Structure 1
């Protein structure tokens, strides 16, 4: 029985033919993502902004009675609640600022949560409280700083590793590809206003790992081919390398997407944002390995000489002593 091959052995797609248009599109998307973050901002979860978050489901209603719910909570005197659909149309996330003095008296936050949940149950008997989370403002600020620091340090450490393993051009290419992937993923959260919390930071770190893995596979094949085909033009060599690793890339990405799509459709709402981030990351990570990480090597002047040891004067003298012809510098 002949095995099914998603990518034929003789595949020869000229990926780098459209490298300039794709780079322009990617740079525009990155700029748009940054613009969305600056203008619309991120819908930061309680993990990052502090406060009380109550998740509720109205089991006997198709949609959340937003007006009545806002009025019910507003009468308690804790300020204006932030209501947001959470998952299905009849599920809602209620966010409240912590009451003054809650840093010194943690019981104040618990009292506020109890009063709000009690008022919801009285005013809306079909309401089911799914969860209550509370994070202080000081802790949430520290979480946001450490989360962003983790993303930055991960990308820098990865670039240094690739720099040491390959050449500095490869480190720059990998860092740019990772920056591209992270920027577009964060831009999606700014566009959709899905909640951005610690789960999403974990998803982005997972995305960085996947994108790096795919990029290293391509870079390793490029390095091998630079040593093997020293006279081949660099664009042609990069195309050859990408095509040779295409089968592995397609199989890996499809395997992950099958699982992720099942989680998106059938999985719990609690991990929807996490799953959506990784799903988008699979697409942009695969794309960046081909159209970001590889073409940039042309503009950074990578050549076969990058991996050929330079012959020193001592090497030439030793070759002459052995009766060999030294290489011309």
Structure 2
């Protein structure tokens, strides 16, 4: 199935400056959001306690707040709806070490005047564990980017590697900016979504770069921009179809998956949109900006092919006993 004509070449590089300008605005805005507003770390990273409560009728949130304020240890609790009007989530900044040995019983006694309810979930993470998880999450993200840099450098050429890493940093930063803007709670699910975006975006970028390398090797063109335009145009239908398929699946999860995976699905939705955009308009633009040389690349490939033929010739002579 083709969405775009396979024989039509679109002038992506002719419009790379406006797209790079748009990306720069989004990137800087995301950095400002992260510096000013920051991320809303959940208990996985910040430590604390989450209590999920389900009422028989609509949850009386104002009454819950008033009751909790009467207890000093719960005075800073954050109460929010969870899915339906009958369920709420209570977030406490402390952990079990400073609240009680059985937080469920304590909360049940405190909330008893607010109506009939059941406590469905209690999650407790100590601040030390949360700090360790945050540190390991950042380490996992950094290690992933470093390994990607080595892999792409080995498979392609260092300018391809740098361009792909710049595109990944662009995608992750904008996704984190959206998370900050909409105050999405950052937990292990969000970290998994960010790592998924890394893999998804890199996969699209590698396919585009593979087609560019093929074009450099087979085309008679000497202008990189023309080869990039042709290569990106050839992968446009594939990239669009793959992204739309994934987008519809994740959008379904976001709409019907429930409150518990909203943050994960939202992060993936942003990542798919930004990753597809960067694969088409940004990654190859970085390659052009880094002044990738077609002549040098072809000379290296010709030299590599020459050495390979010499090795094959020596091997053949050795097998015949002439060496």
TM-score w.r.t. length of structure 1: 0.86
2:77 to 78, 81, 90: 81
For residue 242 of structure 1, report the CA deviation from its aligned partner. 0.3
The answer to whether residue 300 in structure 2 is matched with residue 303 in structure 1 is: no
In the aligned structure 1, how far is the partner of 2:83 from the partner of 2:296? 52
**Residues 7 and 31 from structure 1, CA distance in 2 versus in 1: closer, same or farther, beyond 3 angstroms?**
same
Match of 1:15 in 2: 12
> How far apart are the structure 2 equivalents of 1:198 and 1:296?
31
**Pairing 1:42–2:32 present:** no
The yes-or-no answer on 1:244 pairing with 2:227 is no
**Does the Cα contact within 8 Å between 1:52 and 1:113 map onto a contact in 2?**
no
Cα deviation 1:26-82 (Å, max 9, x = unaligned): 111111111111211211110011111112344522xx5333211111223313212
- Single out whichever of 284-293 and 70-79 deviates more from structure 2: 70-79
Residue of structure 2 equivalent to 1:112: 103
Secondary structure of 2:71's partner? coil
Give structure 2 stretches of 5+ with no counterpart: 311-323
Change (3 A) 1:247 1:58: same
Which runs of 5 or more residues in structure 1 are unaligned? 320-329
Q: Which residue of 2 aligns with 1:141?
A: 131
SS in 1 for 2:91: strand
How many Å apart are 1:89 and its aligned residue? 5.3
Q: Secondary structure at the match of 2:72?
A: coil
Query: Aligned pair 1:56/2:53, yes or no?
Result: yes
Retained in 1: the 8 A contact 2:44–2:187?
Answer: yes
Query: Residue 54 of structure 2 contacts residue 120 of structure 2 at CA under 8 Å; is this kept in 1?
Result: yes
Shift of 1:116: 1.3
Deviation of residue 230 (structure 1)?
A: 4.2
Q: Secondary structure at the residue paired with 2:284?
A: coil
Paired positions, count? 305
RMSD: 2.3
SS state of the match for residue 97, structure 2?
coil
**Aligned equivalent of 2:266, options 253, 276, 283:** 276
Distance 1:308 1:102 in 2: 65
Give the structure with the higher percent helix: 2
Q: Following TM superposition, by how much is the alpha carbon of 1:221 offset from its aligned partner in structure 2, in angstroms?
A: 0.4
Alignment partner, residue 313 of structure 2 = none
Counterpart of 1:205 in structure 2 is 195
Cα deviation digits, residues 89-110 of structure 1 (max 9, x gap): 55432111226x918xxxx544
Aligned to 1:226: 216
Partner deviation per Cα, 1:2-45 (whole Å, 9 max, x = no partner): xx532332332222222111111111111111111121121111
Instruction: Measure, in 2, the Cα distance between the counterparts of 1:89 and 1:186.
Output: 29
Structure 2: distance between partners of 1:251 and 1:230: 30
> 202-211 or 86-95, which moves further after superposition?
86-95
Distance 1:138 1:124, change over 3 A: same
